[in-house]
Structure 1
Amino acid sequence: MADGKSPTTKRTVLITGCSDGGLGAALAVAFHEGGLHVYATARDPSKMAHIASLGIETLTLDVQSDSSITACVQNLSGLDILVNNAGAAYAMPFSDLSIAEGKKLFDLNVWSYLAVTQAFLPLLLQSKGMIVNNTSVAGSMTMPFQSVYNASKAAMATFSDSQRLELAPFGITVVDLKTGVVLSSIYQKAMDNHLPKGSMYEPAKEAVEKALRGEDVVGLGMPAEQWARGVVQDLLRKTPPPNIWRGSQAWLVRLATMLPFGTFDGMVKKMTKLDVVEKMVRK
């Protein structure tokens, strides 16, 4: 059985969703470079070959399987930091979205976070450790065509805030990681996004599908390694902030939350080409 602090007495961190090329992998490397013992996890360990080659310990963890979660917990005897990072995106106009797919997204982006946290909570109570929930700035902004994704992140941000208050009496710190635009493999998976036949947006099909694929946002992304180093620096402070805003455009979204509702609607419309879509569908 792995010992959370043996033999080096290093602080330990377990990260979900660490497949190579993703944000979890970048965090694993940054924590490793920061001197922590890292448990990088993924449903398929073969997809963590690169980070394993760096000497980072990898474990199997399917965050949507109770038996997999239980088995993973049994590999540890101690844990200082849990980073809930595994997740997915789903972009589609509200009028065309699949309710079934939306429920699957909530299962991954919300309920799996809670299941994993409950399972590792006994170890975190022992260490008076930290829970980090990677939510996204998407939960704090209005973004056309990704309402399900944004709603899942907003829901998890609310859970995270409740955890912060509920677990404080037990010495556990909870951090909401509000990630901005970061270059990662999540955008590669969006390349197959297409409108269904009969969509009310068909007159603007090309413009909408570009937005679904995030083509106008990808270029704004921060390198994952840079983002991860900044996040780890924030988390390893003596007193980490309850909300961490990191990644491209994160500062802008943070500003938007302080201004009157809808202040940045015009900018968002231009960024997602919704202004072009409006002209096309109104012809």
Structure 2
Amino acid sequence: MARTVLITGCSDGGLGAALAIAFYKNGDRVIATARNPAKMASLKAMGIETLQLDVLSEDSIKTAVQATSQLTNNSLDILVNNAGQGYSTPLLDASISEVSKLFEINTLSALRMSQLFFPLLRNAKDGALLVNNTSCAGIMPVPLQGPYSATKAALASLSEVLRQELQPFNIKVIDLKTGAVRSNFFANASSSGGSSEGSLTLPEDSLYLPGKEPVEKFMRTDINITEMPADEWATKVVRDLSKRHPPIHVWRGGNALQVWLCSFLPVGTLDAVLKKMTGLDVVERYYRGSKAQKTK
């Protein structure tokens, strides 16, 4: 049977838009949302319903709840908390205010959405799904992506608690652990050195400048990794969420299976590999060489 699905962060070219299209093709009624409705033009052209929603504004969410209630007779079958943002930087260079903002949009906004849309989810006739897009980065944190990984790990923890606390209300919470997917995500990310036209850079006083080229290359994820096309990822996710008993953890995207397997390895097993991938080996050689010169 057709379900009503509300998805956050559905700007064209993003994962939310891909999910909206996949649910729509599956025969579900989709309410796609974004802070700027003009960025959902392609979805609207397909006939998908769109709604303005800023996940950082409680008033905006409350307005969206009222609008959704009117559209769906006061119920919602699936809420997908997808809205999020990237911030690529070494932790020593990270702006505390920017990290705080990142937690607001990647973690706390999902909790705020869950609280305010709860009455509609509770009214779902056959039980509801609350889906949080937490990312594989929350399971396997890597250098230069620390702030983002932290926000997603926190969201995964919140999801696990919500899973237990919402069971009495026939709401199933699902942790969507997304791997590498081809989208405009990093084009919209920021860095401590600023970002212009998708160029993520180190600040001019960064201690990691000795490895500037490989470090910034990894910050941009301009590396040889397997990225799954967004439409393929979305189709598989919708298929998972359409099962009679959807899994609690959904692993989808490039390298998602490998990340799951790596989660069982002893801590530090992949340090050498990650050091070379991120350019930290260059940084280490520079500083250890400088120290050696000073001791001579």
TM-score (norm 1): 0.93
- Of stretches 23-32 and 120-129 in structure 1, the one that deviates more from structure 2 is 120-129
Q: Is the 8 A contact 1:201 1:281 kept in 2?
A: no
SS in 2 for 1:156: helix
**2 CA distance for matches of 1:14 and 1:101?**
28
Query: What is the one-letter code of the residue matched to 2:173?
Result: V
Q: Which of 263, 268, 278 pairs up with 1:262?
A: 268
1:105 equivalent in alignment to 2:102: yes
Q: Which amino acid aligns with 1:263?
A: T
Alignment gaps of 5+ in structure 1: 1-8
**Residue 253, structure 1, aligned to residue 264, structure 2:** no
* Residue 151 of structure 2 corresponds to residue 144 of structure 1: no
Distance in 2 (CA, whole Å) between partners of 1:27 and 1:274 is 36
Q: What's the secondary structure of 1:19's corresponding residue?
A: coil
The worse-fitting range, judged by mean Cα deviation, of 219-228 and 115-124 is: 219-228
Q: How far off its partner does 1:281 sit?
A: 4.0
Q: Deviations over 1:28-58 (max 9, x none)?
A: 0000011100000000000000111111000
Is the 1:83–1:133 Cα contact (8 Å) retained in structure 2?
A: yes
* 1:270 shift after superposition: 3.1
**Separation in structure 2 between the aligned mates of residue 183 and residue 49 of structure 1, nearest angstrom:** 20
Whether the aligned pair in 2 keeps the contact of 1:207 and 1:277 (CA below 8 Å) is no
Which of residues 52, 59, 65 is equivalent to 2:57?
A: 65
Deviations 1:205-255 (A, max 9, x none): 1221112111115x5211100000010000110000000110001111100
1:97-149 deviation line (CA, Å, top 9, x unaligned): 10000000000001100111111100111112110000000000130011111
Matched ranges for 1:37-76 at <5 A? 37-76=29-68
TM-score, scaled relative to structure 2: 0.89
SS at match of 1:78: coil
Aligned partners of 2:86 and 2:159: how far apart in 1? 19
2:216 to 209, 215, 222: 209
In structure 2, the residue matched to 1:278 is: 284
Q: Secondary structure at the match of 2:56?
A: coil
What are the residue-to-residue correspondences of 1:104-183 with 2, within 5 Å? 104-127=101-124, 128-183=127-182
Alpha-carbon RMSD across the aligned residues, in angstroms, is 1.3
CA distance in 2, matches of 1:38, 1:280: 53
Corresponding letter in the other structure for 2:13: G
Give, in whole Å, the separation in 2 of the partners of 1:30 and 1:118.
26
C-alpha distance in 2, partners of 1:281/1:189? 32
Q: Which has the higher Rg, Structure 1 or Structure 2? A: 2
Q: Percent identity?
A: 53
Q: Which consecutive unaligned segments of at least 5 residues does structure 2 have?
A: 69-73, 190-197, 290-296
Aligned residues: 274
The offset of 1:267, in angstroms, is 2.6
In structure 2, distance between residues paired with 1:50 and 1:208: 35
Alpha carbons 1:207, 1:273 under 8 Å: kept? yes
Paired amino acid for 1:38: V
